[in-house]
Structure 1
């Protein structure tokens, strides 16, 4: 089997192509529209849950954008071993939201001042990020563990998990659920309008219209929502004109218990990053096996770790590679990593001027849901394609079926494994981790047949030979 998947004729621009300036800007804005709210939401959620002062929450949001810009720049440019060299967008890791809230609430209950809480949360996150950095150096030796089947399952679970987020926004979001207006005609109508506009433009033969389809759909939905009085501009009030990054603004405090919890989530996020990068390589028509893939994978995870070091030092929650942009790549046909440079610069600018960035948070949930539901489904399809690329013989079918059953089952009811010890439960309550860990376990437990065994050994020999040549 060729290292590169079947040629993706739907791509308008390949990884190393340089689109014209106007098309690059349109594509960059499309990515930003898809990821901006999920990027700033974690800081807003943590800030609200811990009752942080408005200025601290605003600072967390600004640093999230600046750190995401720096991380995206490292990923797409690929300096030495650092970066995947793909259109990999860095953003705040949602996995840390519940952990930060739980740890912060405990500290608050113990009487710690808000700045002491921030100092501890960011301090343990800063140290924990080095676990991701270290894991990047052993990834090339894990061919028997992280196979296309395992990566495909992780990507599939990422897509299926995100679909839930997209469909909730489609119906009006969590605020609509709490107010009893979830799924009303207004929300469903706007969600369907955006969805149909995105589909319509994606079917166009004109490359420029296709690339701008998601952005156009969101703009149309936003205008209609504005006319219906659904846009709330109150979040833009009382914001500083400029936000300047200050390293360790709240000090540096280390707590071993908090570190063990955060460190566990960091290690699990490596598995998610592997799935995201594999999906990006897949939709970008790049190999998901062999030397190039291994190099991109370790470089992408290394950048993930380094960016989280930078992010937590500046005062942001930890970052990771975002899955959402894979759906944008598929919908727009633009896989050019050079578009990521525009995204990175725009993110840093938005972070420095918070009023501009906060404007994106005024986009109503149904508008985002109409576009995201489709994009997240495309991510799930990318996972299926990765799984199929490795073949679906009896062994692989058992691995996929069991992992999908347990992973998707956990997403329906995360408390199903609550009887387990807390140290284990924290690993399996997340559907992505539950599915991924099940796939890894079964991949090691179920023996390969002779043909598969020879194939794996040949791949490992090729990688070792390539590494010796590089050295």
Structure 2
């Protein structure tokens, strides 16, 4: 039975309990199934949109490998690094827009795929120091990064990325650019929106396992439908039998302008992870205040930063703490951090075999688009939920309006900075960065009594 930390009968194995071999393996497998699609999807999108081609299987392998290493660190705790909880690490969706913008900038100057990846990973590596630094001041960060700021940023991320999901439903960016007459064919739309409908249908189920695996099941069914409609292709090119993790395989090329944008995103993901770790503590029946709680938060955010540095060093994109695994803990009643070690081991093993990435690379674009459209919509909805949780007065309404207007305006009219210096484009070319910086500046500049002082205008 559980130890003294298990203060509720809802928990079968508390944080420091050690389940048996069989229980550990199957509990870990459930977490892997719940997070697998989230881990690989950003890499599939980045690889597809930036045209990285033959590099995609290796990048997927590294995404799985580093997620395993990061999850192991979070659960095991290495010195001050790690939360000591089942905090599954996975590739963050928050960085997608800025990664794509950085990649397109390098390509616009004639850079090849290696130079694109060298720049992205170098910037991600160096900017991760921001999250490492702020982990020591996380309790004070809330005084600057208010819910209005995080809500605006997360909403912007979701809304900005919806375009990516919808483009994939139509067949993908390559098809739109090179064969527009075949874009958004009836077959593509049927498959894409069938996946959307199935995700919604499965999420409406009363069975929690069905809801947890909704995206995986919907993508499998969508892939089968794509085969029946003749729009699925299966091509497996050459790949190594084993994916050897090679530090900075593509080189190291720093873009200081992009670093500012990435540094800001690390700041926002630290706030997000604070919420996820707090929820993890709650479902694990641990305190959500006091010294032990703050120690877990600091260790978890520090772990996020260190794991993102490891990710960049080993050729994958920034990591963050996933939230869907909190649902698995609540469902199974297994909160033991030793399960995190098993999850890490499984992901590391999966990441060593590029054949997995080679197969997943063949997921039809409409299938991927249908799944990601729901994911990105969920991100936007999470941002709206944060905003709705706050009392919206004149001040906060103005901050939200101007921040969203600025951020989405840059997204809709990327040519706005076409004649600006490269540094300006790198910083302000990202919708997420612009909306976030606008929200922070307005939060600091507009006085708290702004609403009261303008009431006489009514």
Q: Same fold (TM over 0.5)?
A: yes
Aligned CA distance change for structure 1 residues 451 and 277 (closer, same or farther; 3 Å):
farther
Which residue is 2:196 aligned to? 195
Of 149-158 and 121-130, the range deviating more from structure 2: 121-130
Q: Is the 8 A contact 1:173 1:365 kept in 2?
A: yes
Aligned CA distance change for structure 1 residues 377 and 138 (closer, same or farther; 3 Å):
same
Q: Is the 8 A contact 1:71 1:303 kept in 2?
A: yes
- Where do 5+ consecutive residues of structure 2 fail to align? 1-9, 453-458
Which residue is 2:443 aligned to? 443
User: How many residue pairs get matched?
Assistant: 424
Match of 2:256 among 260, 272, 282: 260
The one-character-per-residue Cα deviations of 1:170-197 (angstroms, maximum 9, x if unpaired) are 2222133132222221111112222222
SS of residue in 1 equivalent to 2:136: coil
Aligned CA distance change for structure 1 residues 270 and 13 (closer, same or farther; 3 Å):
farther
Q: Is the 8 A contact 2:103 2:116 kept in 1?
A: no
SS of residue in 1 equivalent to 2:361: helix
Alpha-carbon RMSD across the aligned residues, in angstroms, is 4.2
Which residue is 2:434 aligned to? 434
Q: 5 Å matches for 1:63-462?
A: 63-75=62-74, 81-83=80-82, 85=85, 87=87, 89-91=89-91, 93-94=95-96, 95-99=98-102, 102-103=105-106, 126-178=125-177, 179-180=179-180, 181-234=182-235, 236-247=236-247, 258-274=254-270, 276-277=272-273, 280=276, 298-314=298-314, 316-321=315-320, 344-418=344-418, 420-449=420-449
Q: Is the 8 A contact 1:311 1:318 kept in 2?
A: yes
Q: Is the 8 A contact 1:39 1:65 kept in 2?
A: no
Q: Is the 8 A contact 2:31 2:328 kept in 1?
A: no
Q: Is the 8 A contact 1:191 1:366 kept in 2?
A: yes
Q: Is the 8 A contact 2:32 2:347 kept in 1?
A: no
Deviation of the 1:372 alpha carbon:
2.1
Deviation of the 1:67 alpha carbon:
1.8
Is it true that 1:29 corresponds to 2:33 in the alignment? yes
Q: Is the 8 A contact 1:166 1:369 kept in 2?
A: yes
Deviation of the 1:63 alpha carbon:
2.6
Aligned CA distance change for structure 1 residues 348 and 20 (closer, same or farther; 3 Å):
closer
The one-character-per-residue Cα deviations of 1:129-183 (angstroms, maximum 9, x if unpaired) are 4344224334433333111111111111122122222222222221331322222
Q: Is the 8 A contact 1:37 1:360 kept in 2?
A: no
Q: Matches of 2:13 and 2:407 in 1, distance apart?
A: 33
Q: Matches of 1:283 and 1:376 in 2, distance apart?
A: 21
Q: Matches of 2:159 and 2:328 in 1, distance apart?
A: 17
Q: Is the 8 A contact 1:214 1:371 kept in 2?
A: yes
- Normalised by the size of structure 1, how large is the TM-score? 0.74
Q: Matches of 1:39 and 1:67 in 2, distance apart?
A: 13
Q: Matches of 1:197 and 1:332 in 2, distance apart?
A: 25
SS of residue in 2 equivalent to 1:321: strand
SS of residue in 2 equivalent to 1:137: helix
Q: Matches of 1:163 and 1:331 in 2, distance apart?
A: 27
Q: Is the 8 A contact 2:242 2:353 kept in 1?
A: yes
Q: Matches of 1:331 and 1:192 in 2, distance apart?
A: 27
Q: Matches of 1:66 and 1:398 in 2, distance apart?
A: 44
The one-character-per-residue Cα deviations of 1:270-291 (angstroms, maximum 9, x if unpaired) are 134135426646876969x976
Deviation of the 1:89 alpha carbon:
3.3
Q: Is the 8 A contact 2:49 2:173 kept in 1?
A: no
